[in-house]
Structure 1
Amino acid sequence: MSKVLRAGAIMAAGTLVSRITGLGRTIVLASAIGVAALGDAYNVAYTIPFVLFDLLMGGVLSSVIVPMIVRARKMDDDGGLTYEQSLLTLVTLILSIVSIVAVLLAEPLIGLYATGWSQHTTEVSVTLARFILPQITFFGVGALAGAMLNTRDRFAAPMWAPVLNNLVVIGVGATYLAISNAGKNIDEVTDSDLMLLGLGTTAGILAQSIVLVISLRRAGFSFRPRLDLRNLKLGELGRSVVWTLLYVGITQIGYVLTTNLAIKAGEMSKEIGVPYGAGITPYSYAFMLFQLPYGIIAVSMITAVLPRMSRHVADERLDLLREEFSSGVQVVSAALVPIGLLLAVLGPTLSLPIFARGAVSTADAIYIGQILQVFGLALVPFSLFQMLLRVFYSLGDTRTPTFLVLSIVVVNATLSLISFFFLPPGYAVVGLALAFAISYTVGAAATWVLAGSRVGGLHGSQVFMGMSRMYCAAIPGGLIALGVLWLTRGLTDLTVLSAITILAVGGGCGIALYLVIAHRMRITQVSSIIETVARRAAR
């Protein structure tokens, strides 16, 4: 466990700063463009490059390319250098072509995600997309460079590079606030305003990618353009990639549905006079807050264990794979269990001081927090599902995860449609978050059974008992936080000041009580996390 913790701690430190600056980026942008029409237009345009990258590269990186790079570095005579050079050349060429085509097709791409907008809102989003879509190439090259660094056990740069990206976009948002007269009013936004927002966003990804490429060179990799398709083992790669592309495509179909339902709910809410933005932007901002603990804790651990599990499979040591996975899951759960409960209790008190400024009203910020409360219920099962997928990926199996995610998307889509049609428009987006939480809870349970059957068990009883004890230790802290919330709300309205007080007292006491109870219950994962953090802080 100590090796996993050390690797995870290195990445968590960089990810923590990255996520904090990412939060600062979101705060600045929300203050500048709000959570209504202009915010929706920007967020949809900003999301599409990530969607296209995921379709072409994102899932392939973790599920196929990292295990193949590990095998090439282990088995090829040149330590995998030729393989990596050919791979980087091919990825750069493909993504450059995709970027050009995406810019040309910006209008139909925006139309796919937003069918209920006015013509002007659509035009604004299309203009933004044309400035933002070229980042597909930079994002892909940087992501591949980061994956290659991870296979060399160089985890710091991939976790720290996004900080530069966030700082660039924070500067862009601050500049928009200073020089634009439009603010959140989409009817007054100018072409120069859109150019600033769009090109500034792309500049951030470019800076991030440059840092990763430089770090890869310093790690000993020398790039020479090489397109040796035979060396890339395209037959093996293609068979795996097909299933991964299906996996990502299925998830994006689900996201398209969620986006369209959220946008339509927002338009319906405006028509009946709901006093807060209830479209895709509040959902996106709540999901971003939900992703903070997941990204800092779970992603760091996932990134650390995947290369190690792939090596264990290559060495035919499934016993070590089981130990690696079990240790990683329990460490992640020890941190995420209390955080998930506190998010479910204190969501609005967290979102209010973060977002209630500039173009975002108090009602807007509280609504984001209500969505976040529901996402809090999904934190542990979503993280567990993502870790379980890495068991299949380390085995070279991309087929099974495709069918698993298909079942999740079907459940999520069904529940999302029920929420949209049966809940009031102002709460439909909260229902979308609940559909997400339920579908990933069911999916994690099914995935555990299938993954365990493939590797001879995953120490299920040990992990289940450990997580049960963690919840027993966390519930009293959640109740303390809830009590502080009720007491404060009984004395005063929910304002930024009262929200900060509730967070400090209720959240602080809740976490402290969890740590005390976990120590008394001898939950070793919690003690290990505390010791690791303390050692690194003392350096």
Structure 2
Amino acid sequence: MTTQPEDRNRAWGPDTRFPPPRSPVEETATDLPALPEPERGAGGILRSGAIMAVGTLASRVTGFLRTAMLVAALGTGALGDAYNTANTVPFIVYDLLLGGVLTAVVVPLIVRARERDPAHGARYEQRLFTLAVLGLALITAVAVALGPVFMSIYGGSMHGDQRELAVLFARLFAVQIFFLGVSAFSGAILNTRKRFGAPMWAPVLNNIVICCTAGAFLLVASGGVDPSTIGTGEVGLLAAGTIGGMALQTLALWPSLRGSGFRWRPRLDFRRGELGEMGRMAVWTLAYVVITQIGFAITTRLANSAGVAGRAKHLGDVGYTPYFNAYQLFQLPYAIIGVSVITALLPRMSEHAAAGRFGDVRDDFSTGMRLCAVIIFPAAGLMGVLGPEIATVLFAHGQTSVANAEVIAEVLRMFAVALVPFAAYQLTLRVFYALQDTRTPALIAVAVVAVNIACALAASRLLPTDKIIVGIAGGFALAQTTGALLGWAVLRRRLGGMDGRRIIATDLRLIVALWPLLGLAYAVHAVLRAGLGTGLVPGLLALAAGSAGGGLLYLLFARLMRVGEVQTMIGTVTARLPGRR
């Protein structure tokens, strides 16, 4: 599955130019409240990721507002499927041709070049940026021309007015590829210079523009619009807002770039061997991206086909858009805590790996897994129990009914099963990247995508039409579990263990602490649904009571179970409240 604009600049860690490495305890001993020694390294990671987590939270909250506004304006049917499928294409093309290389290859090369020689590193940065701008311009022009081809691949059974509109959107939205690539490269440069704020907050501007666009569309397209009735002005409005939001996100990074000392002077005078080095590292990364995008293309096509069949059978909107919206909700907990923890961990893991301290790499991974679990376990539980209320509050507006939101909730509940293995799989991938191994992730991806495709095909053939996207989400969960287990097995041999006992012990205690949350959330869900039915007000009440009350019970029982990571998180947060030092 591809990610949205706000996800793009989150995978790169800070510059690794600092004094000789110390232990995790030494690195943060002076910055944290008094805690047991094993918890101090975890607290340091939380502190390092704080600004990233806040920025991620802001972009995700506004991102969900954007998604809710688009669902209200476009619905979850034919128009929404055409828009969302076409708007996914720029991110697919970017991932295939630059995104994976940028994440796993280009940024480490820039950092190492700067460490060897700051002047050479600056010139190398200029050359790579110039190459990226020229390549992005060419890629964008080709993608505009290939709009019909992309819709043939991803559009499933789209035909008639829906296909024509999707092709038009695909051509127009392809312009985003240029801005998306420049934005991602700019964010990568800022992260290597320890400038985390702008890459985290710039997507908020994009989201605000899209929200305004959706609001304007609601005003000018009153009475409902579909692919056969949408006007030229309404298409232009959606295109201008979608492209303009990405352009603004890109431009917003330039003041911070200049403040960091970066000045772009176009140059292509690569030294002998520089491009070859990049190519050798990029081959397996590109293979990984291509493999995963094959799986995404098939699942997207099957979801769109289910939507077309569902409308033909008068089953409602059961296609790609409900699947897409559920996936956006599913990613939120990982985006807030997982990405922030990864960004803080990756430089440290890379440093330990380069020095041959694999025990420290293992400890870093263990810390990341346990910290992520503190948030991801309750998030998965709440999604599973309160999925209908979450979907109703966010999406049951405008052209989207409560019944449409219930479809999203069904998919979300299945995605909730995938949340824990998804986070584990993503963390194992970063350990491989820290070890400068891009080959193993590509090989593991073959198995992951094979499971995903097999399950998606089985769902499309064996399940009723209105359950196909739920089955596809179930296949995604099984595929992520496969990836996590395979990555764990390989790394266990390579690192001499994975600190499995401590990770499993923490997870078991968290599961025990989770049951009171699940019980209260389900009771609130059942009582309010029986007494007030479905809708915005019952949904809001259920979310407020279930998540707040359940969250407090979870924290209480986690502390009673002596889960050190919860104590660390609470201590790190409360130490920075007003009046605390």
TM-score where L is the length of structure 2: 0.90
Report the CA distance shift for 1:84/1:232 in structure 2 as closer, same or farther (over 3 A): farther
- Identify the match of residue 17 of structure 1 among 21, 36, 58: 58
Q: What residue in structure 2 maps to residue 346 of structure 1? A: 386
Q: Is contact 1:331–1:525 with CA below 8 Å preserved after alignment? A: yes
Secondary structure of the residue aligned to 1:358 is: coil
2:484 is aligned with 1:444: yes
What's the counterpart of residue 48 of structure 2?
A: 7
Q: CA RMSD in A?
A: 1.6
CA contact (8 A) 1:66 1:307 kept: no
Which one-letter code corresponds to 1:443 in the other structure?
Answer: G
Counting only pairs closer than 5 Å after superposition, residues 69-108 of structure 1 correspond to structure 2 as: 69-78=110-119, 80-108=121-149
1:91-147 deviation per Cα after TM superposition (whole angstroms, max 9, x unaligned): 111111000110011111111101301221111011112221111111111111111
Distance 1:158 1:457 in 2: 35
Q: Is the 8 A contact 1:182 1:189 kept in 2?
A: no
Post-superposition CA distance 1:297-339 (Å, at most 9, x none): 1112122222232233333333332222221221111111111
Tell me which of 101, 104, 107 is aligned to 1:63: 104
Query: 2:433 matched to which residue of 1?
Result: 393
For the Cα contact (< 8 Å) 1:183–1:189, is it kept in 2? no
Q: Among 196, 202, 214, which residue is 2:237 paired with?
A: 196
For 1:19, give the aligned amino acid.
R
Secondary structure of the residue aligned to 1:251 is: helix
Secondary structure class of the residue paired with 2:345: helix
Give how far 1:181 is off: 4.6
Alignment of 1:17-416 (within 5 A): 17-78=58-119, 80-181=121-222, 183-230=224-271, 233-274=274-315, 276-416=316-456
Structure 2: 5+ residue runs without aligned partners?
1-41
CA distance in 1 between counterparts of 2:523 and 2:167 reads 47
In structure 1, stretches of 5+ residues that fail to align are: none
Task: State which drifts further: 233-242 or 307-316.
Answer: 307-316
Separation in structure 2 between the aligned mates of residue 90 and residue 315 of structure 1, nearest angstrom: 32
Instruction: Describe how 1:479-518 pairs up with structure 2 within 5 A.
Output: 479-518=519-558
Is the aligned partner of 1:471 residue 2:505?
A: no
| Separation of aligned partners in 1, 2:529 and 2:392 | 14
Partners of 1:373 and 1:108 in 2: CA distance: 33
2:558 alignment partner AA:
A
Distance 1:529 1:198 in 2: 42
Question: Which 10-residue stretch deviates more, 182-191 or 500-509?
Answer: 182-191
Question: How many Å apart are 1:379 and its aligned residue?
Answer: 0.9
Separation (CA, whole Å) in 2 of partners of 1:307 and 1:175 = 43
3-state DSSP class of the match of 2:252?
A: helix
**CA distance, structure 2, for counterparts of residue 166 and residue 235 of structure 1:** 38
Question: How far is 1:536 from its partner?
Answer: 4.2
Counterpart amino acid of 1:334? V
Structure 1 residue identity aligned to 2:383: L
Change (3 A) 1:232 1:11: farther
> Quick one: distance in 2 between partners of 1:309 and 1:34?
44
Deviation at 1:180, TM superposition (A): 2.9
User: Distance between the aligned counterparts of 1:535 and 1:223, measured in 2?
Assistant: 41
Tell me how far 1:407 sits from its aligned partner.
0.3
**Contact 2:115 2:121 (8 Å CA) reproduced:** yes
Partners of 2:82 and 2:162 within 8 A in 1: yes
Instruction: Report the AA paired with residue 221 of structure 2.
Output: S
Deviation at 1:79, TM superposition (A): 6.4
Q: Once superposed, which parts of structure 1, at least 4 consecutive aligned residues long, lie more than 4 Å away?
A: none
CA contact (8 A) 1:70 1:307 kept: no
Amino acid of the residue matched to residue 233 of structure 1?
E
Work out whether residues 38 and 121 of structure 1, in 8 Å CA contact, stay in contact via their aligned partners in 2.
yes
Contact 1:95–1:137 under 8 Å retained in 2: yes
Instruction: Confirm whether residue 430 of structure 1 aligns to residue 474 of structure 2.
Output: no
What number of residue pairs does the alignment pair up? 538
Structure-2 change in CA distance of 1:313 and 1:66 (3 Å): farther
CA contact (8 A) 1:356 1:362 kept: yes
Q: Deviations over 1:225-260 (max 9, x none)?
A: 121332672222112211111111111111111111
CA distance in 1, matches of 2:519, 2:215: 39
Once the two structures are overlaid, the 10-residue window that deviates more, 481-490 or 241-250, is: 481-490
Per the TM alignment, residue 537 of structure 1 is displaced from its structure 2 partner at its CA by 4.8
Paired AA for residue 93 in structure 1: L
Q: Which residue type is aligned with residue 541 of structure 2?
A: T
Question: How has the CA–CA distance of structure 1 residues 503 and 426 changed in structure 2, closer, same or farther, with 3 Å as cutoff?
Answer: same
Normalised by the length of structure 1, the TM-score is 0.96
Is the alpha carbon distance of 1:72 and 1:321 closer, same or farther for their aligned partners in structure 2, counting shifts above 3 Å?
farther
Shift of 1:87: 1.0
SS of the equivalent of 2:143 reads helix
Helix, strand or coil for the counterpart of 2:119? coil
Rounded to whole Å, the distance in 2 between the matches of 1:147 and 1:309 is 18
Instruction: Kindly state the Cα deviation for residue 182 of structure 1 after the two structures are TM-superposed.
Output: 6.7
**Range that drifts further, 33-42 or 523-532:** 523-532
**Greater mean deviation of Cα atoms: 451-460 or 385-394:** 451-460
Between the aligned partners of 1:91 and 1:76, the Cα distance in structure 2 is 22
Question: Contact 1:67/1:396 (CA < 8 Å) preserved in 2?
Answer: no
Contact kept? 2:43, 2:569, Cα under 8 Å:
no
Q: Which moved more, 1:177-186 or 1:427-436?
A: 177-186
The CA deviation at 1:493 is 2.0
Please tell me the residue identity of whatever aligns with 1:38. L
In structure 1, what is the Cα distance between the partners aligned to 2:167 and 2:273? 37
Q: Retained in 1: the 8 A contact 2:156–2:302?
A: no
SS in 2 for 1:273: coil
> Matched residues in 2 for 1:30 and 1:510: separation?
29
CA contact (8 A) 2:55 2:197 kept: yes
One-letter amino acid of the structure 2 residue matched with residue 380 of structure 1: V
